[in-house]
Amino acid sequence: MIRLRVTVLSLALLTAAAPALKADVRADEKSRVEFAGMLGRMFNMFGGKTAREGVTLSIAVKGDRKATMNGDSTGQIVDLGEEKVYDLDLKKKSYKVTTFAELRRRMEEARKKAEEDSRKDAGKEKDKPQAADPNAKQMEVDFNIKNTGATKTINGFETRQSILTVTMREKGKTVEESGGMIMTSDQWLAPKIAAMKEVLDFDVRYAQKLYGTMMAGVSAEQMAAAMALYPMIKQVMGKMTTEGGKIDGTAIQTTTTLDAVKSAEQLAEEAKASETDSKSAASGGVGGMLGGFAKKMAQKKMGGDEAAKARATFMTMTNEVLKVVTEVSAADLAVPAGFKESR
């Protein structure tokens, strides 16, 4: 099943109260998500060509129907009136139908399982004190928009550059002092394309019908893994969504990076550990030197070179609008002729 992009749904939720334009629109977009280090190698290994090269999607919206085609391999049609999702296998010329009711049932089962797991965890923790940690850090989030004045033509669209930066740090300290996270969104904006809002409005209506969270480009599994390693992602992306929605224009090309920043204390500890390792290697003769060299080579292979840096990018998301048209035919939103339903 094709998943909706995180950025699309986030922006769509900002427009939930606005009236729908009811305009037809078809857009071709290319998206890619990259992870650094071990996480990146894992997803490249299991994600195949899509993980390495990204996906090119053709999205069409007309009334209560939306079709999303992923090249010549898969596709999906969502019908809000029928409350059905058609998942297409373009190579096998087959499709599978799932009702919204079935999707709700699956989500409810997932919710109950999560609650059950939570209760089990709570049982394990019941004998532990529940008082708030007096040493817990208070975090602050800063937001900045910089209009660089740079312009360029992208896929026939005249665009201007705007860079959005969200910084999460400990209250009363700079991010260099306390460590934290920085999200940077480098956007090339065209004058607002009104028809593109129809895609966002459709995603809002879909979300409201399902009572669920939809994500694509970044899958639920990928985001869960990233958030497990970097818990601050949720707050940073929330701030980006809230403030980013205030920008006037339609993003034609966007590169978003997530950087983890080490605190001054962490860097000092790493420098001390490195110095200790160097002394040990020097005093250990040939064996010690070989051991130190092997350790450095292992760190480099595992992405450990980043350990010596104060700031390291661990996730990069790119999205580019290739084409937008406002003429959509019935065939653009229908199951292709000759396709057979699979059970």
pLDDT of residue 325: 92
pLDDT of residue 190: 95
Q: How far is Cα 334 from Cα 343, in angstroms, rounded to an integer?
A: 19
Exposed, middle or buried: residue 188 (CB in 10 Å: 0-12, 13-18, 19+)? Answer: buried
pLDDT of residue 296: 54
The mean of the pLDDT values for the chain is 76
| 96 bridge partner residues | 87
Region 91-102: what's the mean pLDDT? 94
**pTM of the predicted model as reported, rounded to 2 decimal places:** 0.61
Q: How far is Cα 161 from Cα 172, in angstroms, rounded to an integer?
A: 31
pLDDT of residue 125: 57
Bridge-based pairing of strands 84-89 and 74-79 is: antiparallel
pLDDT of residue 93: 95
Which of the given ranges, 69-83, 125-139, 148-162, 232-246, has the highest pLDDT on average? 148-162
Query: What whole-number percentage of the chain has pLDDT above 70?
Result: 64
3-state helix, strand, coil in the chain (%, to 5): 40, 35, 25
Region 13-29: what's the mean pLDDT? 59
pLDDT of residue 16: 35
pLDDT of residue 46: 59
57-94 tens-digit pLDDT: 899 999 999 999 988 889 999 999 999 999 999 999 99
User: What is the phi/psi pair of residue 26, to 5°?
Assistant: -135, 130
Contact 251, 321 (CB under 8 A): yes
pLDDT of residue 15: 34
Checking if the pLDDT of 9 tops 60, the result is no
211-258 tens-digit pLDDT: 544 443 444 445 555 555 556 666 666 665 566 556 788 999 999 998
- DSSP state string for 130-170: ----TTPPPEEEEEEEEEEEEEEEETTEEEEEEEEEEEEEE
Q: How far is Cα 115 from Cα 124, in angstroms, rounded to an integer?
A: 14
Q: How far is Cα 255 from Cα 320, in angstroms, rounded to an integer?
A: 9
pLDDT of residue 21: 40
Confidence of residue 124 (pLDDT cuts 50, 70, 90): low
pLDDT of residue 218: 47
Region 139-146: what's the mean pLDDT? 86
Range name among 152-161, 180-189, 218-227, 319-328 with the lowest pLDDT average: 218-227
| 184 bridge partner residues | 165, 257
CB contact set of 216 (below 8 Å; sequence gap of 6+): 2, 3, 4, 5, 6, 8, 31
